[in-house]
A and B are shown apart, each in its own frame.
Chain A
Amino acid sequence: MILSVNGVEFRYGCRTILENIGFTVRRGEFLSILGNNGAGKSTLLKTLNKILLPQQGSIYVGQQELCKLSRLSIALKMAYVAQNYGSNRQTVFDAVLLGRKPHIKWEATAADLALVQGILVKTGLAEFALRYLDELSGGELQKVVIARALAQEPEVLLLDEPTSNLDLKNQMEVLKTIRTAAKEKNIAVVAVMHDLNLALRFSDKFVLLQDTKVFVAGGSEVMTAENITQAYGVSVSVDRVQGQTVVIPR
């Protein structure tokens, strides 16, 4: 178990955002966090990276308790891609090279540069390598921040709505890249997903949040029409079309 979350509770002041959250993820697994806007998905992801400290409960990364780890040792194990990120006047190559930061002692080595270039090629960003971030499209920028997280060579990849700015083709490409990397390098992926069908297609596990709590968690067996209808408050049917499970709102 690379990540286990037990009884996590998080409050902003006296407003409870998360209550008694628990789930586990193994290496190589892809877990999707689902739920309506404002359900607390981003907040949950931030507690997993110690950007926010939960008031109660425990989070273990491997054998170690998260709150006892330093920022640097967390960064060596986990990469985090925020939901909102700015662009600045920095080249794509430099932006992805920054992912090597936790590993760099004094200066980036030839191996770091080669690794970055490999990731740029894999994510289809090689042709943009020396373009500035503020000259990229939203989708290209989203690929850059994901590429940076991959350059971090983490054991756990935390992604907040990684495909929200991508078109259909790039959604598929990016998620495939992430899944391939996860399977090859045995990385656990925890992603907040806003698209149910993409989540169904790429994930092994699901956590449905509703009203501060886990409504249901588990494998694809929990993604029933009834559960989704209740968690999202929209009536849906779940069908199989050409071998894929799809959710259709009614």
Chain B
Amino acid sequence: MVRDETVLDGGVTHYLKYTWKKKLIMSGLVAMTALLSLYAISAGSAELTPWQVVLTLLGRTEGQSQIIIWSIRLPRVLAALVAGIGLAVAGAVMQNILRNPLAAPSTLGIAQGAAFGAALAIIGWGAGSTPSSGGGALLINSPYIVTISAFVAAMLTTLIILFLAQYKGVSPESMVLAGVALGSLFSAATMLLQYFTNDVNVAAVVFWTFGDIGRASWGELGIMSFVVFGAMLFFLFNRWNYNALDSGTETAKGLGVNVERTRQLGMFVASLITATIVSFLGIIAFIGLVAPHLVKRLIGGDNRFLIPASGVMGALLLLAADTLSRRIIAPVVLPVGAVTSFLGAPLFLYLLVRGSKLR
């Protein structure tokens, strides 16, 4: 065995090169997201050039383009980015701590819980019973009550899941099964509510469940950003714990990880992000499932890179889906939740078929 300094340094240099490659890919994703954001802000019924967008963002122009950008397009693009980051990061962490590649907000019943909460508010408490004079799409009168009710129901789902894990000894791996069961329970309850109410309410509930980025204005964006970035910091603080968990429970314990607490807190924070986003925007499926899987293919499962890169990938995917939903049959805006499912399902199947090497 050789034991001289050059071999030692050589090995470390190789390793550093290997991590730089990951950072390079991550920077590439960031750059793509930035370019797409610029396009998304400039594209729309009032076409603006990217240069006008830059000037407006720098505060160098006035008039109509300023209003369009600052009050319509910018909050929408930022909301897509923030929600994409949040959903993807939550999915990445859930997949890690539950040791199940299928873990995601929608497979854990959290999204269905939120939908039930919204339906209860709209139908049960009349938060959307009278059609607004604005007519057409806006059937929800008290968006705050609906949002809060959706949020509470989503967090309740989370608490049930945590309770099952903590006191009933359901293993992390089977948590997704419990989530599927909870999800269909909530879906059934939502269906029943819809069955016994009038058409207008049914339409309002269905409308709510279609995830739609356009629901966020600056206020909602502020709350979502606060939750997502706080959670991101929390996850990054725990990235070594998550890496240790990847090597098995006992090994993680031997490495000094408080496994139970790491799992519970991680699940709680990931669900908090999901509940916040879903209750503001409605159900947006597949981002939390697909983004982490794509990133694992690109740069592997090391949580030091996986967590931030999944965030960027989620932002990119959701912004792409939202831009597509605005542009594809403009001026009609499709619900982004339908677009993510439409694109996400085949993408996921493709990953399954191609990704036999991937955990």
Contacts and interface: CB of A to CB of B under 8 A. Distances in A.
A129 B8 CA distance: 12
Contacts of A248: none
A86 B33 CA distance: 36
Q: Please report whether the interface of chain B is mostly helix, strand, loop or mixed according to DSSP.
A: helix
A153 to B, nearest CB: 13
A113 B15 contact: yes
Contacts of B302: 90, 94
B11 A121 contact: yes
Contacts of B254: 49, 51, 75, 78-82, 149, 158
A7 B248 CA distance: 30
B256 to A, nearest CB: 3
A89 B359 contact: yes
A129 B256 contact: no
Give the size range of B's interface with the partner: 20 to 34
A121 B8 contact: yes
B86 to A, nearest CB: 23
A120 interface: yes
A192 to B, nearest CB: 14
B329 interface: no
Interface residues of A, number: 47
A114 interface: yes
A215 to B, nearest CB: 27
B11 A101 contact: no
Contacts of A73: 256
A71 B11 CA distance: 31
B257 interface: yes
A139 interface: no
A89 B11 contact: no
Given A85-B248, A88-B301, A90-B302, A126 B253 contact: no
Contact of A130 (B2, B15, B248, B357): B15
A119 B11 CA distance: 11
From B244, B247, B296, B358, name the one whose CB has the most chain A CB atoms within 10 angstroms.
Answer: B247
24 contacts: A46-B250, A72-B258, A75-B255, A76-B256, A82-B248, A86-B248, A88-B359, A90-B247, A90-B300, A93-B15, A94-B302, A98-B243, A99-B255, A101-B243, A101-B255, A104-B240, A113-B12, A113-B16, A120-B11, A122-B3, A126-B7, A126-B11, A130-B14, A130-B15
Interface of B: 1-3, 7-8, 11-12, 14-16, 18, 240, 243-244, 246-248, 250-251, 253-258, 296, 300-302, 304, 357-359
Interface of A: 46, 49-51, 70-76, 78-82, 85-86, 88-91, 93-95, 98-99, 101-102, 104, 107, 110, 113-114, 117-118, 120-122, 124, 126, 129-130, 145, 149, 152, 158
The 5 residue pairs across chains A and B that have the minimum distance between CB atoms = A75-B256, A80-B254, A117-B11, A72-B256, A102-B256
